[in-house]
């Protein structure tokens, strides 16, 4: 048990220092390694396997809803980036510029894509001519670069992996429906697969994507009470189409501008998983994206028959479609327990000489350390049931954390007091719609507008800040 103690002691407790706890996990669970380029990291096999599972699940949903994958270049010429005024103002300050190819200076400098609206628009202008060419519903899985000053693994890095969907439609209505569909797809994915409850809402004007008519987002609350934007979906209207001169001939022979959307999710989701479900023993992974869903640990594995039985269980679980690992290394049982707790494996299967005698094994669920003896005959079904219980348990726990940390406030003082007394969290409060009040709330209480939830509640008649008539209930919080 010496090994186990050693490992566990190395993680800072989350209550003591949440930020340090986070970076400890990221390193000890072997998710990332730093590199000599600030803000760029190595995504190690275990984290990349989580990302592959996220990719696979999302990509399947994208294809089921009629989207196709493409791949655009990573470089955007400066003149192309400059075409849509708001867009370039939003992104130009934080792009990386390529100025030389080999030993020659380029005639025009190129930025490494921070996002690809401009490239998709250039492409659409080439391939969209008639209503018959619409809609185009494209997506790509790539990395993008934003030259951030402060960086944190997964949460804010200079290069990160993401998917960016870009669609173009004949009518505004179709594009709006697409924007909503993808927001809902993201929300459902987070809740069902990642066990992270989210709030769907619209961003305020000051918080919109550069060039968008409307930006929608899903917001999740982390264990420490800070908010994390987990996905965004933008409606562009025909602004980009006009800037890039994309027109099509409609059924009535008229020339029209099409309407566009874009939407994205990133490797931030891994950060969200860590900070929603993790605990002082390490990662806790939702089964749908866990690289290892069940780990088999033979107890007293030198005793006759134990390893053979463990191998048999492995084959059975594999055949049942469960991602399973058997650790038959010569590390101590204590070391193994703490290693797979650190790695957040949802279900541990213990099998020892006594279990074999009794025709059973013991299942231990990571998030609550609940132990259940199950008959070997029922193994597959029992593990499947446990995996579902883990997902449900994680979701419930995260939901309870969010509810405990959601404060309904009608006055500024109330906000300050709630945050002081109960810690960071979501604040629900009414807003007049005036940007000055949005800024004032942030300045006076520290929480900014996260979104205007689609599901509105009427908390009071007046703005929490100025007392004038309220237009919306806003969800406020401190953001990652």
Minimum distance from residue 121 beta carbon to its own copies (Å): 11
To its own copies, the closest distance from the beta carbon of 339 in angstroms equals 14
Q: How far is the CB of 71 from its own copies (least distance, A)?
A: 4
Sign of the alpha-carbon dihedral angle for 58, 288, 224, 411: positive
**φ, ψ at 382 (rounded to 5°):** -65, -40
Does 2 participate in binding its own copies (rule CB under 8 A)?
no
Q: Least distance (Å) from its own copies to the CB of residue 347?
A: 22
Per DSSP, what are the bridge partners of residue 202?
Answer: 216, 452
**In what helix (H) or strand (E) does residue 354 lie, and over which residues does it extend?**
helix 353-357
Choose, by CB under 8 A, the member of 14, 50, 88, 95 that binds its own copies. Answer: 95
Is 158 or 397 the residue whose CB approaches its own copies more closely?
A: 158
Left if phi > 0, otherwise alpha if psi is -120 to 50, otherwise beta: which for 161?
beta
Q: CA-CA distance, 289 to 273, in Å (whole number)?
A: 10
Size of the site for its own copies (CB under 8 A): 52
CA count, 13 A, side-chain hemisphere, 297: 21
Is 68 a binding residue for its own copies by CB under 8 A? The answer is: yes
Question: Cα separation of 463 and 468, whole Å?
Answer: 6
- Residue number, 37 or 254, with CB nearest to its own copies: 37
Told to check if 70 binds its own copies by CB under 8 A, we report yes
Q: Is the dihedral of CA 441, 444, 450, 455 positive or negative?
A: negative
Asked if 99 touches its own copies (CB under 8 A), the answer is yes
6-35: which residues touch its own copies (CB under 8 A)?
33, 35
Choose which of 57, 98, 376, 479 interacts with its own copies (CB under 8 A).
98
Q: Which stretch binds its own copies (CB under 8 A): 75-83, 340-348, 413-421, 449-457?
A: 75-83
* 218 token code pair: 């899903």
Peptide bond before 135: cis, by omega within 30 degrees of 0? yes
- Regarding 94 and contact with its own copies (CB under 8 A), the answer is yes
User: What backbone torsions phi and psi does residue 133 show, to the nearest 5 degrees?
Assistant: -85, 0
Footprint (CB under 8 A) of its own copies, residues 317-336: none
What SS3 class is residue 329? coil
Which residue, 83 or 468, has its beta carbon nearer to its own copies? 83
Please, are residues 358 and 315 in contact by the beta-carbon 8 Å criterion?
no
Candidate ranges 8-16, 70-78, 417-425, 435-443; the one touching its own copies (CB under 8 A): 70-78
Q: Output 65 or 358, the one with its CB closest to its own copies.
A: 65
102 sits near its own copies (criterion: CB under 8 A): yes
Which residues pair with residue 324 across a beta bridge?
294
Nearer to its own copies, 166 or 259 (CB): 166
Cβ atoms of residues 95 and 126 within 8 Å: no
Q: Considering the complex, what minimum distance in angstroms separates the CB of residue 254 from its own copies? A: 22
Task: Report how far residue 80's alpha carbon sits from residue 73's, in angstroms, rounded to the nearest whole number.
Answer: 13
Q: Per CB under 8 A, which region of 71-79, 208-216, 410-418, 461-469 contacts its own copies?
A: 71-79
Q: Note whether 64 binds its own copies by CB under 8 A.
A: no
Of residues 105-164, which lie at the interface with its own copies (CB under 8 A)? 110, 112, 119, 122-123, 126-127, 138, 142-143, 145, 147, 158-159, 161
Select the residue interacting with its own copies from 3, 77, 320, 442 (CB under 8 A).
Answer: 77
Yes or no: say if 170 and 248 are a contact pair by the CB < 8 Å rule.
yes
Separation between Cα atoms, residue 22 and residue 27, nearest integer Å: 9
For residues 161 to 180, the per-residue mask of contacts with its own copies, x marking binding by CB under 8 A and - elsewhere, is x-------------------
Among 2, 9, 64, 93, binds its own copies (CB under 8 A): 93
Query: Quick one: which H or E segment has residue 179?
Result: helix 172-192
Out of 9, 100, 252, 455, name the contact with its own copies by CB under 8 A. 100
Report the site for its own copies in 31-60 (rule: CB under 8 A): 33, 35-37, 40-45, 48-49, 51-52
Is 477:424 a contact under the CB 8 Å cutoff?
A: yes
Q: Are 289 and 53 in contact (CB under 8 A)?
A: yes
Question: Would you say 426 and 451 are in contact if contact means Cβ atoms under 8 Å apart?
Answer: no
Region class of 433: left (phi > 0), else alpha (psi between -120 and 50), else beta: left
Residues that bind its own copies (CB under 8 A): 33, 35-37, 40-45, 48-49, 51-52, 68-77, 80, 92-103, 110, 112, 119, 122-123, 126-127, 138, 142-143, 145, 147, 158-159, 161
């Amino acid at each position: 048990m010496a090994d186990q103690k050693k490992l566990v002691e190395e993680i800072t407790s989350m209550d003591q220092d949440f930020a340090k706890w986070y970076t400890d996990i990221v390193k000890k669970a072997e998710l990332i390694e730093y590199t000599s380029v600030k803000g760029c990291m190595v995504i190690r096999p275990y984290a990349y396997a989580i990302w592959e599972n996220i990719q696979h699940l999302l990509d399947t949903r994208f294809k089921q809803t009629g989207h196709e994958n493409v791949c655009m270049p990573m470089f955007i010429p400066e003149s192309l980036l400059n075409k849509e005024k708001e867009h370039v103002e939003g992104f130009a300050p934080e792009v990386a510029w390529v100025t030389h190819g080999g030993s020659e200076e380029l005639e025009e400098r190129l930025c490494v894509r921070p996002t690809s609206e401009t490239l998709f628009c250039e492409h659409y202008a080439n391939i969209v001519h008639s209503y018959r060419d619409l809609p185009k519903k494209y997506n790509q899985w790539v990395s993008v670069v934003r030259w951030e000053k402060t960086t944190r693994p997964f949460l804010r890095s200079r290069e990160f992996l993401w998917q960016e969907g870009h669609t173009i439609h004949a009518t505004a209505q179709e594009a709006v429906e697409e924007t909503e569909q993808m927001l809902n797809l993201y929300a459902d994915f987070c809740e069902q697969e990642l066990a992270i409850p989210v709030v769907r809402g619209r961003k305020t004007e000051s918080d919109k994507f550069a060039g968008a008519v409307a930006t929608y987002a899903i917001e999740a609350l982390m264990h420490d009470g800070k908010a994390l934007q987990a996905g965004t979906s933008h409606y562009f209207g025909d602004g980009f189409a006009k800037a890039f001169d994309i027109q099509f001939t409609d059924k009535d022979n008229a020339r029209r501008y099409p309407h566009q959307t874009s939407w994205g999710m990133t490797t931030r989701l891994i950060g969200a998983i860590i900070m929603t479900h993790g605990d002082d023993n390490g990662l806790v992974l939702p089964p749908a994206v866990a690289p290892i869903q069940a780990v088999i640990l033979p107890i007293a594995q030198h005793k006759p028959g134990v390893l053979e039985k463990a191998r048999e269980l492995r084959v059975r679980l594999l055949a049942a479609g469960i991602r399973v690992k058997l650790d038959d290394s010569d590390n101590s049982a204590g070391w193994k327990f703490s290693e797979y707790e650190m790695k957040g494996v949802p279900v541990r299967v213990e099998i020892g000489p006594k279990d074999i005698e009794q025709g059973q094994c013991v299942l231990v669920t990571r998030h609550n350390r609940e132990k259940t003896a199950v008959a070997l005959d029922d193994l597959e079904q029992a593990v499947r049931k446990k995996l579902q219980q883990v997902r449900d348990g994680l979701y419930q726990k995260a939901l309870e954390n969010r509810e405990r940390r959601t404060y309904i406030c009608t006055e500024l003082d109330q906000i300050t007091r709630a945050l002081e007394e109960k810690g960071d969290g979501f604040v629900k409060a009414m807003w007049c719609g005036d940007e000055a009040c949005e800024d004032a709330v942030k300045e006076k209480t520290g929480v900014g507008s996260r979104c205007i939830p689609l599901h509105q509640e009427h908390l009071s008649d007046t703005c929490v800040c100025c007392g004038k008539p309220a237009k919306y209930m806003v969800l406020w919080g401190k953001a990652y």
